[in-house]
């Protein structure tokens, strides 16, 4: 007898952004820039910043998990596993996922961090899907969360205008309806590390008075190179995954790109021939929240998705890391 393929369906979503806003007007007071320049070059109007010094990435992830649990009607003890995609763990050692399990009361879950920068959520989603498809686990939470304000230099106008803080989470469960994660394509090119990184604070260049004085504990980037590579990486990944799954742009209901720069998103859409009304964008409100951008879009726009919708997710980030995921939307638990 033919057994139906088990897929990992998204059955609940959660999200969190801090209350505090950092607007373009406020940035005008901090560095030599203007609302007009930022809006025209990036599409960003404001970002959310986690200002409470007692809170960090794990806390935003916990808020997102709590919303997800509320949304699903599940108890924390029912979760089997948690994967946290982040580049800004609370501490270098130990994993922030351990803190999330502890603070959210996931007493029966094991968890780990995954760092693939802005592509982290997509990489983590594929790992979560594999755990479900293996039939060993029934409820896996995948989170993208980053507190970029902790690693951004607010005297550097090239980078401080771009990033914000936030967290998004999805619950994966086994399905035999055909909904869920269908396919993914990922790439890594280590030559990209030179163009976008936080050079110091790791094992190569531990934090010191000198690294702090020279700003090497903060994000550094060659914006132009990253800009071009992101457009090429995300559009190539989408083309490849659409071809492999016999999808035309008409078959795809929604494109959810990583939110790094509105001009990058527009260029990707143009290359793919995607009309803007099929593309989900919230960068104007949150900026680039790194691993959180895609799950925050899923959270923000969940009401627009219908069962059976074909959704293409694509991301590009430091590393370079990039790729695309083809997802068929299913039924959220709260709609059941």
Among 33, 153, 211, 245, binds ligand COA (CB under 6 A): 33
Q: Which ranges of 187-336 does DSSP label H, i.e. alpha helix?
A: 209-213, 223-244, 262-272, 283-286, 293-300
What is the size of the binding site for ligand COA (CB under 6 A)?
21
C-beta nearest to ligand COA: residue = 223
**What residues pair up with 7 in beta bridges, in sequence order?**
175
Burial of residue 209 (number of CB atoms within 10 Å: 0-12, 13-18, 19+): exposed
Least distance between ligand COA and beta carbon 88 (Å): 14
What is the C-alpha separation between 143 and 33, in angstroms, rounded? 33
Backbone φ, ψ for residue 58 (5° rounding) = -60, -35
Least distance between ligand COA and beta carbon 233 (Å): 10
Candidate ranges 15-23, 175-183, 205-213, 226-234; the one touching ligand COA (CB under 6 A): 226-234
Least distance between ligand COA and beta carbon 160 (Å): 8
Nearer to ligand COA, 101 or 230 (CB): 230
Neighbours of 81 (CB within 10 A): 24
What is the C-alpha separation between 31 and 25, in angstroms, rounded? 10
270 token code pair: 């143009």
The answer to whether 333 contacts ligand COA (rule: CB under 6 A) is: no
Among 13, 62, 82, 118, binds ligand COA (CB under 6 A): 118
For residues 22 and 154, the answer to whether their CB atoms sit within 8 Å is no
Nearer to ligand COA, 159 or 175 (CB): 159
What is the C-alpha separation between 251 and 264, in angstroms, rounded? 23
Backbone φ, ψ for residue 149 (5° rounding) = -60, -20
Among all residues, which ones are annotated catalytic?
A: 118, 258, 288
Least distance between ligand COA and beta carbon 35 (Å): 10
Least distance between ligand COA and beta carbon 32 (Å): 6
| Residue whose tokens read 């008409």 | 250
Candidate ranges 138-146, 166-174, 219-227, 239-247; the one touching ligand COA (CB under 6 A): 219-227
Q: How many CA atoms lie within 13 A of 17 on its CB side?
A: 25
What is the C-alpha separation between 138 and 94, in angstroms, rounded? 26
The answer to whether 226 contacts ligand COA (rule: CB under 6 A) is: yes
The answer to whether 223 contacts ligand COA (rule: CB under 6 A) is: yes
For residues 153 and 218, the answer to whether their CB atoms sit within 8 Å is yes
Nearer to ligand COA, 63 or 320 (CB): 320
Q: How many CA atoms lie within 13 A of 297 on its CB side?
A: 28
The answer to whether 299 contacts ligand COA (rule: CB under 6 A) is: no
The answer to whether 326 contacts ligand COA (rule: CB under 6 A) is: no
The answer to whether 232 contacts ligand COA (rule: CB under 6 A) is: no
The answer to whether 297 contacts ligand COA (rule: CB under 6 A) is: no
Candidate ranges 60-68, 75-83, 97-105, 217-225; the one touching ligand COA (CB under 6 A): 217-225
| Residue whose tokens read 């690294």 | 211
Least distance between ligand COA and beta carbon 226 (Å): 4
Mind giving me the DSSP string for 39-62? HHHH---EEE----TT--HHHHHH
The answer to whether 161 contacts ligand COA (rule: CB under 6 A) is: yes
Chain residues binding ligand COA by CB under 6 A are 33, 37-38, 41-42, 118, 157-158, 161-162, 221, 223-224, 226-227, 230, 260-261, 288, 316-317
């Amino acid at each position: 007898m033919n057994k139906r393929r088990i897929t990992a369906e998204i059955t609940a979503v959660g999200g969190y952004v801090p209350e505090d806003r950092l607007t373009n007007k406020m940035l005008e007071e901090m560095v030599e820039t203007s609302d007009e320049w930022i809006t025209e070059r990036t599409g960003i109007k404001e970002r959310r910043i986690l200002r409470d010094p007692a809170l960090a990435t794990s806390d935003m992830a916990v808020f997102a998990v709590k919303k997800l649990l509320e949304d699903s009607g599940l108890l924390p003890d029912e979760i089997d596993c948690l994967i946290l995609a982040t580049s800004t763990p609370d501490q270098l050692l130990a994993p922030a996922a351990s803190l999330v399990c502890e603070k959210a009361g996931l007493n029966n879950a094991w968890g780990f961090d995954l760092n693939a920068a802005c592509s982290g959520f997509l990489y983590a989603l594929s790992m979560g899907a594999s755990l479900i498809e293996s039939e060993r686990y029934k409820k896996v939470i995948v989170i993208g969360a980053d507190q970029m304000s902790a690693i951004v230099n607010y005297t550097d106008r090239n980078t401080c205008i771009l990033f914000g803080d936030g967290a998004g989470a999805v619950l994966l469960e086994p399905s035999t309806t055909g909904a869920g994660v269908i396919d993914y394509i990922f790439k890594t090119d280590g030559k990209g590390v030179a163009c976008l990184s936080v050079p110091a604070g790791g094992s190569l260049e531990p934090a010191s008075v000198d690294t702090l004085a020279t700003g090497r504990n903060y994000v550094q980037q060659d914006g132009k190179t990253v800009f071009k590579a992101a457009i090429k990486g995300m559009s190539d990944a989408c083309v490849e995954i659409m071809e492999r799954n016999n999808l035309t742009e008409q078959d795809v209901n929604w494109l959810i790109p990583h939110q790094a720069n509105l001009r990058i998103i527009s260029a990707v859409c143009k290359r793919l021939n995607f009309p803007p009304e099929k593309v989900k964008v919230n960068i104007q409100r949150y900026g680039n929240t790194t691993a959180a951008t895609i799950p925050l879009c899923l959270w923000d726009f969940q009401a627009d998705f219908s069962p059976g919708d074909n959704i293409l997710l694509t991301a590009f980030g430091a590393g370079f890391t990039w790729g695309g995921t083809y997802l068929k939307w299913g039924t959220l638990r709260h709609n059941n």
